[in-house]
Amino acid sequence: MRMIEIILKKRNGGELSQEEINFFVKGYTSGEIPDYQASALLMSIYFQKMTDLETVYLTEAMMNSGDVIDLSTIKGIVADKHSTGGVGDKTTLVLAPMLASCGIPVAKMSGRGLGHTGGTIDKLESIKGFSADMKEEQFIKNVNEIKIAIAGQTGNLAPADKKMYALRDVTGTVDNISLIAGSIMSKKLAAGSQAILLDVKVGSGAFMKTEEDAFSLARLMVKIGTEMGRNTEAIITDMEQPLGRAVGNALEVKEAILTLNGKGPDDLYQLCITLGSELIMMTGNAETRQDAIDMLQNSVNDGRAFKKFAQFIQTQGGDINMVMDPELLPKAAYVLELKSAGTKYVKSIDALGIGNCALILGAGREKKDAAVDLSVGIYLNKKVGEKVFPDEIIATIHTNDLAKGEEALKKLSDSYCFSDEEVTKNRLIHGLVTKDGVKVY
Ligand code: URA
C-alpha cells in the first residue's frame, strides 16, 4: 500500500477501507509517513468528508495506537462523563463525587489541554498537594475503595490522536466533525469506561456554535461508541453564556465546593442532576428517572457528596483544610469591579468573550505546557435574565497584574449586553442523543 494512493482516493471523493485507514494511522504514528502527506490526507478529509464507517475505523485505529486501559477489575459498571469544553465548566468536580457517593464507580482520566481556563486537573491542583499522577494499579485501587479517582492522561493514551491533533491545529483541519468525533472518542474508548455520557456544548463559548453541528457531532460520537460496544449517549447543553458564575481555576473549585454543599448556582446544579441521572439510568442503578434524581439530590442534601469530595481530595494528597474552608484557596492580588450605570436586565453574556478575558488574565493556556495562574479569573455576579440596579456590581475581575486586569475589564464589559425589558433565560438542555434516536427539547 502507498500513502499517495490513499491521498488520491480521498481527494477524489472515495471511501477509504479499514486497511487503508490502519495503514495511515500506524505509519503516521511511527513516523514512517511524513507530516506533509498526513496534512494532504487531512485536508482531503476536510473537504471530501468521511462516512460514518470510515470515522469508526479511524477512531478504532487511533484508540489502538497506544494503551487501552482495562478497568475490568473494578466492581460495578464504570461511568464516565466527557464535556466537549466550555467556559466555566466545572461539572466534573461536582458530578464525580455526587455519583461516587451514590455508589457508582467513577474512574476518570482528565486532561490539562488548551483552553480559556485549565482543564479539570489544573483546577484540582488549586488545592495544595493534590496530585493526579498515579499508576494504573493505584487508580483502580482508589476506585474500588472509595469509588472515585481522577488521573492525568497517560502519555501513551491514543498517541496517534495526540500527533494528529497537533498537526490539525497548524494545518487548518481541526473543525471537521468526523475528525473531532474520532479524536475525542479514541481517547474516551482507550480510557476504558463502559458507560460514556458526552456533554456536547453548543453556543458562542463552545466548539460547536450551532445546534445543527452539535447534534451532528453528538450523533456521530454516540454511533462510534455504540459500534465499539460501549453504552454511549450524548446530552446537548447550552454554552451561550458561561456555566455557573465562576471562571478561573481556584474560583471554579470554590464554586464546585459550594454546589456540593447545596449553595451553588442553579444552572450548574441542574446540569449535574441531568447528566448524573442519565448516567445512573445508563448504568442500571435506578429503576426510574425520578429515583435517579432523588439519589443525587439526597447525596447533596445529606452531605454525602461533599464528604466524598473531601475524601477523594485527601486520598490524592490534597490539603483538606482548603476543602473545608475554600477561602484558603489561592487568591489574586487585585479585584476590579464592573459596575452598572442604570437599571436594566442582562440580555446576553458572550461566553467566548468571557473565555478570552480568562486567557488575558492567564487562567488558561494557548500553547501546550504553558503555565496557568490558578488564582485569577472572573466572577459573574449577574447572569442572563437578572436585573441590575445603578452602581451594582455586575462582575469582578481577579488579577495579579493590573494592566492585564484593565484589558480584561474592557473585554468583560463588551461581553455583556443589556435590555430595558425583562429577558427570558437560555434553555440549559437542548436535547438527548441515544443509539435509538434524537430528542430535541
Ligand atoms: N477536542 C479533542 O480532543 N479533539 C478535537 O479534535 C477537538 C476537541
Q: Out of 59, 112, 175, 184, give the residue to mutate to test ligand 1, the one with the largest number of ligand atoms within 8 Å of its CB.
A: 184
Task: Establish if 40 belongs to a structural domain.
Answer: no
Instruction: Residue 345: give its domain's CATH number.
Output: 3.90.1170.30
Task: Establish if 74 belongs to a structural domain.
Answer: no
DSSP 328: G
Which atom of ligand 1 sits closest to the CA of residue 165? 6
Q: Out of 180, 201, 221, 224, give the residue to mutate to test ligand 1, the one with the largest number of ligand atoms within 8 Å of its CB.
A: 180
Phi, psi of 321 (to 5 degrees): -60, -35
Ligand 1 and 165: CB distance under 6 A: yes
* Protein residue with its CA nearest to atom 7 in ligand 1: 180
Known catalytic residues?
A: 82, 161, 168, 183, 187
* Protein residue with its CA nearest to atom 1 in ligand 1: 184
62-110 per-position pLDDT tens digit? 999 999 999 999 999 998 999 998 999 999 999 999 999 999 999 998 8
Ligand 1 and 62: CB distance under 6 A: no
Ligand 1 and 183: CB distance under 6 A: yes
Share of residues in the chain with pLDDT > 90 (%): 92
Q: Tell me, what's the pLDDT at 132?
A: 96
Cell matching residue 59: 477512531
Task: Establish if 111 belongs to a structural domain.
Answer: yes
* H helix or E strand, kind and range, residue 410: helix 402-415
DSSP 365: B
Q: Do residues 191 and 265 both lie within one domain?
A: yes
Give residue 11's identity as a one-letter amino acid code: R
Q: Where are the alpha helices (DSSP H) in 31-125?
A: 35-48, 52-63, 91-101, 120-124
Q: Do residues 397 and 434 both lie within one domain?
A: no
Q: What residues have CB less than 8 Å from 72, skipping those under 6 apart? A: none
Q: Do residues 210 and 110 both lie within one domain?
A: yes
Phi, psi of 347 (to 5 degrees): -90, -45
Pairing of strands 429-434, 231-238: antiparallel
Q: Do residues 234 and 113 both lie within one domain?
A: yes
Q: What residues have CB less than 8 Å from 394, skipping those under 6 apart? A: 338, 339, 340, 346, 380, 381, 382, 388, 416
63/270 Cα distance (integer angstroms): 33
Q: Do residues 211 and 358 both lie within one domain?
A: no
302-350 per-position pLDDT tens digit? 999 999 999 999 999 999 999 999 999 999 999 999 999 999 999 999 9
Can you count the helices (H) and strands (E) in the chain?
17, 14
Distance 229 CA to ligand 1 centre (A): 21
Q: Do residues 262 and 341 both lie within one domain?
A: no
Q: How many CB atoms lie within 10 A of CB 227?
A: 18
Helix 304-315 and helix 249-260, axial crossing angle in degrees, nearest 10: 140
Q: Do residues 280 and 213 both lie within one domain?
A: yes
Query: Is the pLDDT reported for residue 114 higher than 90?
Result: no
Q: Do residues 290 and 355 both lie within one domain?
A: no
Q: Do residues 233 and 377 both lie within one domain?
A: no
Q: Do residues 253 and 352 both lie within one domain?
A: no
Q: Quick one: average pLDDT of 171-187?
A: 95
Q: How many domains does the chain have?
A: 2
* Protein residue with its CA nearest to atom 3 in ligand 1: 184
Distance 346 CA to ligand 1 centre (A): 32
Q: Out of 89, 109, 174, 185, give the residue to mutate to test ligand 1, the one with the largest number of ligand atoms within 8 Å of its CB.
A: 174
Ligand 1 and 305: CB distance under 6 A: no
Ligand 1 and 185: CB distance under 6 A: no
Q: Quick one: average pLDDT of 145-152?
A: 95
Task: Establish if 259 belongs to a structural domain.
Answer: yes
Phi, psi of 312 (to 5 degrees): -65, -45
Task: Establish if 104 belongs to a structural domain.
Answer: yes
* Protein residue with its CA nearest to atom 2 in ligand 1: 184
193-243 per-position pLDDT tens digit? 999 999 999 999 998 999 999 999 999 999 999 999 999 999 999 999 999
Task: Establish if 27 belongs to a structural domain.
Answer: no
410/414 Cα distance (integer angstroms): 6
* Protein residue with its CA nearest to atom 8 in ligand 1: 180
Q: Do residues 210 and 132 both lie within one domain?
A: yes
Q: Do residues 225 and 118 both lie within one domain?
A: yes
104/3 Cα distance (integer angstroms): 46
Per-residue burial over 402-440, b if 16 or more Cβ lie within 10 Å, else e, is eebbebbbebbeebbebeeeebeebeeebbbbbeeeeee
Task: Establish if 265 belongs to a structural domain.
Answer: yes
Range of the domain at 408: 332-419
Phi, psi of 33 (to 5 degrees): -95, 125
Task: Establish if 239 belongs to a structural domain.
Answer: yes
Instruction: Residue 289: give its domain's CATH number.
Output: 3.40.1030.10
Distance 65 CA to ligand 1 centre (A): 17
* H helix or E strand, kind and range, residue 414: helix 402-415
